[in-house]
């Protein structure tokens, strides 16, 4: 009997490890599990950080939400702008009607890229929106040139000759284009947690433990940190002293120089490929705005560098100097006020420049 149980658990462990590593298997699991059943996946209904830390019962981080629609964009000129918004989860929620004077709108998810061919009869604009925590890794190289490119160009870009700080190492193999990441999924820990523990019937236990940690020890679980004023949850990597995505990690002048050089190369590349204007807009970490003491000043150091050629849509300065709260207390994203403020900045900047 012991051997049977041993062999069962060994087999179970191997299957679980394989499924947690395989992108295809995880997609199948996520699509198959019925969220309404006892064996369904825990739903992140109250903000990503609240859900990561299981602090759903703490109303400070889970206030009632008011979904305020964006103000209707008003165009004072001709509707001849083709806007390509290259962004992440901050930019994904916008629609074409949110922006002024658009004839065409295309959102480019940074995880998927885009093959484009520009209509030269339009004013083609590329807006690169990026969360602060991704700036140093993503613009540490020129990988964007291989992800967003003219479909009619003979070569996607010359970026393949660059050393990308954020790209995995590639080794010689009998399998074409073999990457270490194909064997070791960087989300393995999250996937294992999902497959082993992320079930509706287990959640009360996790929520009880999280509540005890919060009320007795003033701590959050896992990759979540409570702000000094106890009003916000922060993603741990944005406040760690050693993570490149942190608001407090040390940054050198050489780091800034490398980022400026790469952003200038990106700007020049897309202008040469037909875009009339190229903009960069960095969305500050919640900690950057809501807990500024000790901030490494990555955004102003980069945006105010006289060598920087790419046009900047400056959300940092406006958020810092505007009264009010623009971030959700239990989520990595901003609230409706923050979204509207950024949208107003974008519409005003593009209208003035074009």
Residue extents of the structural domains in the chain:
81-178+241-353
**What would the pLDDT profile of 51-97 be if each residue is shown by its tens digit?**
888 898 888 998 877 778 888 888 877 889 999 999 999 999 899 99
pLDDT band at residue 234 using 50, 70 and 90 as cut-offs: very high
DSSP secondary structure letter of residue 28: H
Q: Is the pLDDT of residue 164 over 80?
A: no
| pLDDT at 154 exceeding the cut of 80 | no
Pick the closest to residue 60 from 211, 251, 222 (CA basis): 211
In degrees, rounded to 5, the angle at the alpha carbon of residue 123 between the alpha carbons of residues 117 and 126 is: 65
Q: Please name which of 340, 351, 298, 345 lies closest in space to residue 132, comparing C-alpha atoms.
A: 298
Q: Which residues of 124-162 are buried (b: 16+ CB within 10 A; e: fewer)?
A: bbbbbbbbbbbbbbbbbbbbbbbbbbbeeeeebbebeeb
Q: What does the alpha-carbon distance between residue 36 and residue 45 come to, in Å, rounded to a whole number?
A: 13
**DSSP three-state, residue 97:** helix
Ranked by mean pLDDT, the top range of 150-164, 165-179, 220-234 is 220-234
Say how many C-beta atoms besides its own lie within 10 A of residue 226's C-beta. 20
- Lowest mean pLDDT: which of 32-36, 45-49, 230-234, 297-301? 32-36
Lowest mean pLDDT among 69-78, 118-127, 169-178, 250-259: 169-178
Does the structural domain 81-178+241-353 have CATH classification 3.10.590? no
pLDDT at position 330 is: 94
Cα Rg of the chain (Å, integer): 23
321 Cβ neighbours under 8 A, 6+ residues apart: none
Angle in degrees, 0-180, between the axes of helices 23-32 and 188-196, rounded to the nearest 10: 40
């Amino acid at each position: 009997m012991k051997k049977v149980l041993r062999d069962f658990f060994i087999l179970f462990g191997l299957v679980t490890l394989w499924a947690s590593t395989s992108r295809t298997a995880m997609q199948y699991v996520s699509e198959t599990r019925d969220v309404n059943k006892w064996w369904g996946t825990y739903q992140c209904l109250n903000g990503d950080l609240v859900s990561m830390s299981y602090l759903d019962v703490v109303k400070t981080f889970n206030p009632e939400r008011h979904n305020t629609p964006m103000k209707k964009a008003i165009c004072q000129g001709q509707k001849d702008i083709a806007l390509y918004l290259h962004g992440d989860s901050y930019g994904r929620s916008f629609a074409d009607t949110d922006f002024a004077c658009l004839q065409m709108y295309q959102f480019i998810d940074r995880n998927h890229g885009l093959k484009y061919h520009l209509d030269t009869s339009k004013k083609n604009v590329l807006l690169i929106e990026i969360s602060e925590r991704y700036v140093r890794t993503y613009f540490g190289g020129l990988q964007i040139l291989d992800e967003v490119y003219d479909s009619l160009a003979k070569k996607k870009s010359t970026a393949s000759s660059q050393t990308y700080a954020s790209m995995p190492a590639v080794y010689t193999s009998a399998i074409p284009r073999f990457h270490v990441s194909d064997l070791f999924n960087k989300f393995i820990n999250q996937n294992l947690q999902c497959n082993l523990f992320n079930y509706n019937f287990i959640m009360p236990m996790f929520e009880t433990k999280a509540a005890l940690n919060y009320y007795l020890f003033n701590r959050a679980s896992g990759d979540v940190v409570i702000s000094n004023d106890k009003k916000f949850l922060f993603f741990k990597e944005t406040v760690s002293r050693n993570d490149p995505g942190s608001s407090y990690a040390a940054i050198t002048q050489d780091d800034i120089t490398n980022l400026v050089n790469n952003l200038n190369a990106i700007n020049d590349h897309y202008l040469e490929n037909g875009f009339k204007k190229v903009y960069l807009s960095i969305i500050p970490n919640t900690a950057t705005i809501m807990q500024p003491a000790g901030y490494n000043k990555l955004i102003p150091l980069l945006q105010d560098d006289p060598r920087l050629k790419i046009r900047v849509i400056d959300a940092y300065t406006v958020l810092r100097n505007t009264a009010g709260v623009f971030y959700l207390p239990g989520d990595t994203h901003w609230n409706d006020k923050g979204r509207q403020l950024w949208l107003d900045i974008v519409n005003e900047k593009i209208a003035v420049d074009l």
